[in-house]
Structure 1
């Protein structure tokens, strides 16, 4: 595998499906970022990247058969390859002087220098190329179909003012009664009530608030013989709805035992209970 030197950093030249790509580890290396920085940013915003356009996910078999071994650590079971577009999206928040220089040089000296693939010179090679192109076309069509379904689902996803259980009820198969316990587990919310015999008082952690995943709706409770008090209810925000939907597709949410295995979102209507 050939190499290229960018800002005193030697990088392997990695090509996949006729274009130059970079790994997450290469991005950390050339941008002088701590190991794992690019992967963390990629995973955090994964829903914004389109597979087949911004990145490719390759398996261990592909790493072995496509001569990608030098691009990944030994025994890598699965890895991500970012295209030029994906690389620019991922490093968009990098605003230091080094980032500007590296981005410019990678575009000019790395991505733009990819050689066009050689056309086969015999019939067997042409048939293999045709078969590969047909397979890639079928895969792309399936990915586009899946992306269209996801976009359609996202259009029905968010309703301002919904609580977490209300939102979860519209996700087919999710056990909405266990959602607040799950959000406690992943540290989105916590129970501020110290008395185990009293009803829980759910509050939202600072990080989910800062990331616009959840907010709190204050409600004043009044009753005969008691002093008025404020109860806080965790309420969904649009970015949080998208993040929980990604968890739903990854089967990370608490699911009912009777779930039929279908990922669908019920559209909110004026008759839907709030």
Structure 2
């Protein structure tokens, strides 16, 4: 088996708040299409489609590998299943080719993190002199202080959201409390982020939103209810229910300007307490 779990198989790395296993195959660190969609917050199947659309440009053994079912056990230790038809994994070069069309701010941030931290981990250089050791200690202390500050700010934000978050509210209801958000566009934003999809088969009917598998029970969950009306065949409607981690992520997107805002927004980022109103 040529899959190499680093540090006894327990090595993970955090990219954009998502913990990923570190997997090597034939001397290359590799990622799956699902991992790319997850860290880039793209709809499921985006990376695979980009690969398929440009398949003739990718070189086997250089840009990607096709893992046979016979090697499934090695990947299963990382929580990665290999289907009967095999699993395509991408090297750094293949990954960069697949995400070439992703040019938003998040894409640039994730690409930099994956390349610098995952595909090209920096080797640790042992200081050779006392001066080098002191400089290294000072650098590490400065980095630690920055991380502590960032962690404190993140913890304060989460604590604030925990005190204001109401269990059972919908994404629209939560966003109604974010000053300036265009609440009529919340579901469109969630579609763009790949959090939900429209399960309606008739393009002329009202949307029937469902939670995408990659965020289900992490950012969102669903609550089914039966809809019945005279002269109309009854059906099951799934209400979108926001979870605390999803609220934290929506608040991050709000602060970064990634949600659709009202044209007359005053520019202030504030979060109001729950007022008991119903979400539409």
TM-score with structure 1 length normalisation? Answer: 0.48
